[in-house]
């Protein structure tokens, strides 16, 4: 079933869009089933759950941290994390830089934005992102690489609203690209779209979808 789900989703997205299989709450056996079907990118939202799984699973898996990350947990994932989707403060970025340096790595990060109508403590506004990107500190960070943005649409049935929110994320991406990353080819990702809305997200310019339940349940 998992293999069929994966190929069904892949049929619906461009070949250059990345499918991150969100394996939170699912077990090692299910992840192995996806892995054996060729899936190499997996996403988790909790550091502790991620740590447990990393130890039990093949080490060519590329792990994505998609949930809120506390600064004091960065050290656990710094040795191996492939992409952190949820950067929303300069202090977190600073800690990622520090731990990446300790591990002699450069860690790829996405800036997380809040565009959904639901209340959330997490995610930046465009103004906050601009403040972050213009801060004096950021030029000193040698071991992080900001490769794009991430966001979530509201969990509603109104397709227009969801589409508009994805459009807003795409717009944020283009504003940042033209102001801060014009000559930086690494800044190219928009991580948006989940099980219920990934097709809309792709239409609005997503380069990376994060799909869980549609694969695993
Ligand atoms: C759980 C989660 C997903 C995947 O959600 P599904 O609806 O199961 O596809 C994607 N992104 C984030 C940030 C999540 O927490």
Centre of ligand 1 to C-alpha 96, Å, is 23
Residue 211 has pLDDT above 90, yes or no: yes
Centre of ligand 1 to C-alpha 26, Å, is 12
pLDDT at 119: 85
Q: Which atom of ligand 1 is nearest to the CA of 22?
A: 4
pLDDT at 121: 80
pLDDT at 65: 98
Residue-wise pLDDT tens digits, 92-134: 999 999 999 999 999 999 999 999 998 888 999 999 999 999 9
Q: Residue 203: pLDDT band by 50, 70, 90 thresholds?
A: very high
Q: Which atom of ligand 1 is nearest to the CA of 217?
A: 8
Distances from the Cα of 87 to the Cα of 4, 32, 133, 159, angstroms = 33, 28, 12, 27
Residue nearest ligand 1's atom 12 by CA: 66
111 touches 146 (CB < 8 A): yes
123 touches 161 (CB < 8 A): no
Centre of ligand 1 to C-alpha 134, Å, is 30
Q: What is the DSSP annotation of 69-135?
A: --GGGHHHHTTT-SEEEEE--HHHHHHHHHHHHHTT--EEEEEEEE-SSS--S--B-HHHHHHHHHS
Nearest residue to 86 via CA among 71, 66, 107: 66
215 touches 6 (CB < 8 A): yes
Residue-wise pLDDT tens digits, 141-185: 999 999 999 999 999 999 999 999 999 999 999 999 999 999 999
Centre of ligand 1 to C-alpha 137, Å, is 32
Q: Which atom of ligand 1 is nearest to the CA of 211?
A: 9
CA geometry: angle at 92 spanning 88 and 97, to 5°?
Answer: 125
For 168, phi then psi, to 5°, come to: -65, -40
50 touches 65 (CB < 8 A): yes
As for ligand 1, residues whose beta carbon falls within 6 Å of it are 22, 24, 45, 66-67, 194-196, 210-214
pLDDT at 169: 98
Residue 19 has pLDDT above 90, yes or no: yes
Q: How far is it, in rounded angstroms, from Cα 94 to Cα 194? A: 29
pLDDT at 118: 86
Residue-wise pLDDT tens digits, 24-63: 999 999 999 999 999 999 999 999 999 999 999 999 999 9
């Amino acid at each position: 079933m998992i293999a069929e789900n994966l190929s069904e989703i892949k049929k619906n997205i461009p070949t250059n869009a990345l499918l991150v299989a969100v394996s939170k709450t699912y077990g090692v056996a299910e992840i192995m089933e996806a892995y054996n079907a060729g899936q190499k990118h997996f996403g988790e939202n909790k550091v502790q759950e991620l740590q447990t799984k990393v130890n039990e699973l093949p080490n060519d898996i590329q792990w994505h941290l998609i949930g809120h990350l506390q600064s004091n947990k960065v050290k656990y994932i710094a040795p191996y994390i492939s992409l952190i989707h949820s950067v929303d403060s300069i202090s977190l970025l600073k800690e990622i830089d520090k731990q990446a340096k300790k591990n002699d790595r450069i860690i790829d990060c996405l800036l997380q934005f809040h565009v959904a109508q639901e209340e959330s403590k997490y995610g930046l506004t465009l103004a906050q992102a601009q403040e972050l990107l213009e801060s004096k500190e950021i030029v000193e960070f040698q071991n992080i690489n900001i490769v794009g943005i991430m966001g979530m649409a509201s969990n509603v049935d109104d397709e227009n609203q969801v589409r508009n929110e994805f459009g807003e994320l795409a717009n944020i991406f283009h504003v940042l690209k033209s102001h801060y990353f014009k000559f930086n080819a690494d800044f190219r990702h928009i991580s948006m779209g989940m099980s219920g809305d990934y097709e809309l997200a792709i239409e609005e310019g997503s380069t990376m979808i994060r799909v869980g339940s549609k694969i695993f349940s």
